[in-house]
Amino acid sequence: MTEAVHIQFKDMAPDTLAGVEGLVVVFVSADGKMGLPARKVNVLTRKAVERAVGAPGWAKGKAGDVFRLGWPAGIAAEAVLVVKLPAKPTVEEARRAGAALARERGTADMTIVAGAQGRIDELSLGLALRAYSFVPHKTAAPDRSGAVTVMVNDPEAVARAAGPMAALVEGVFFTRDLTNEPANVLTTDDFAARLAAMQELGLEVEILEEQELQRLGMGSLLCVGQGSASPSKIVVMQWNGGGDEAPLALVGKGVVFDTGGISIKPAAGMEEMTGDMGGAGVVAGVMRTLALRKAKANVVGLVGLVENMPSGTAVRPGDVVKSMKGDTIEVINTDAEGRLVLADVLWYTQERFKPVGIVDLATLTGAIIVALGHENAGVFSNDDAFCEGFMAAAKAEGENAWRMPLGAAYDEKLKSRIADMKNIGGRDGGAITAAQFIQRFIKEGQPWVHLDIAGTAFVSGDTMLAPKGSTGWGVMALNRMVADRYEVKE
């Protein structure tokens, strides 16, 4: 998997700064106030930092912006990067600054002279996340040899604070790698194998093959993959770090490629359907993070892995399938397949694990993009307190989410003439009727949150913390939710 940039924390050594090569980073507050590190570099560069802060562009910059001083006199560095940042920044400001530094770094060595600057652990997280690049299929991979050194007053304390964040970065990168991977590489078999390899981290991993899914009566899930040569599977990942408590359950849609099936999608943009397993990718990334940081909680992650292809054996519009729950479903549109996968995985999760709560994630509908764009994931829930737990975690991590309505009136659109329900309710309110469909497979009294991440999982342009492609949205929020709400406190 993609390796994160290595960041090392060292004691302050201001007397060595004149000879430091590569990039030197200092911090100055909006009012031009400099700490000791910036003052030292300012003297070495014959007041170049002071002149930069006095320039007209400084006042226009925001907290976290970086100003580059190329080849300054008096030091060996090729550039001094002046970061506009308060001494005690917010989490968002610190991460924004780190991301800006990642964009400026290129392949050069970077020395961040932080001293007593606040939230350097969060800045380092932003730098590491934004430095991600998916390159395994490039024959000439970019040079990643540049080292990042952070000089701080108390390197051991900062390193301790940044330790859990290293696990978080690896979890996000795992999600991004999975979601960016082309479908001819990330088949259902390959996906399952990558998850099984996490047993070496302490996860219990179990793979349910098609024969077992048939025995369990998962006709809803199995119909989605019956047109593909790749076998459908469910992968169960368990992290048992919290004693005897019932687990929190995370469930992900893992459609490794979605052509739409017989209801085939338009050709334009179909290549992005390699990312239709984004929900499963997030679940995998969260489970990896929890295992790496040895979370004191019980969490189970389940992903339904299928490929939706048109062929002579594919499910057809008008077919009726039977779910594990026992309900029958008239398949009106074979491109509304994610909810068919989730229906059986969610029912199986409740039957087997009786979880304290369930969060499902899916790149489910284009309708949520129409409603919320690419700025927010859609959140649906049957339990206000459980939903608030997630929303608070998402807000704390800067992963935007917006709660959407549910209601019995939307169920009218799912009525079928020949079966218990249809799998689609029409164009209007499409994200809501999809959530209503899924809710039918949630037992009475079971706290549940459904996250439609179609707009946030995979984007066509850079975001603050990620380049174009997979963002890993949701890993940080769910990791925070586990830490805040479900970990055993010592």
Q: Say how far apart CA 128 and CA 424 lie, in whole Å.
A: 41
Catalytic: 339?
yes
Asked if residues 252 and 299 have their Cβ atoms less than 8 Å apart, the reply is no
* Site of tokens 């209503």: 436
CA 471 from centre of chain: 6
What is the C-alpha to C-alpha distance for residues 82 and 21, in angstroms, rounded to an integer?
16
**Edge-to-edge order in the sheet of strand 448-452:** 204-208, 233-240, 298-308, 248-258, 357-362, 448-452, 377-381, 401-403
Cα dist from 213 to 127, 193, 210, 341, 458, whole Å: 43, 18, 5, 12, 29
Q: How far apart are CA 76 and CA 22, in angstroms?
A: 8
- What whole-number distance in Å separates Cα of residue 65 and Cα of residue 72? 19
Out of 39, 265, 322, 403, the active site residue is 265
Rounded Cα distance between 257 and 285, Å, is 19
Whether residue 47 lies in the annotated active site: no
HSE, CB side, 13 Å, CA atoms: give it for residue 203.
28
Q: Distance between CA 9 and CA 162 in Å, rounded?
A: 10
| Active-site entry in 95, 325, 339, 480 | 339
User: CA-CA distance, 132 to 153, in Å (whole number)?
Assistant: 28
Phi and psi (nearest 5°) for 435? -65, -40
DSSP, collapsed to helix, strand or coil, labels residue 50 as: helix
For 36, other C-beta atoms within 10 Å of its C-beta total: 14
Angle at 76 between CA 71 and CA 80, to 5 degrees: 50
Q: What does the chain come to in residues?
A: 490
**Selection from 169, 149, 159 nearest residue 108 by Cα:** 149
Number of H helices, E strands in the chain: 15, 19
Phi-psi region of 356 (alpha: psi -120 to 50; beta: other; left: phi over 0): alpha
Looking at the annotation, which residues are catalytic? Answer: 265, 339
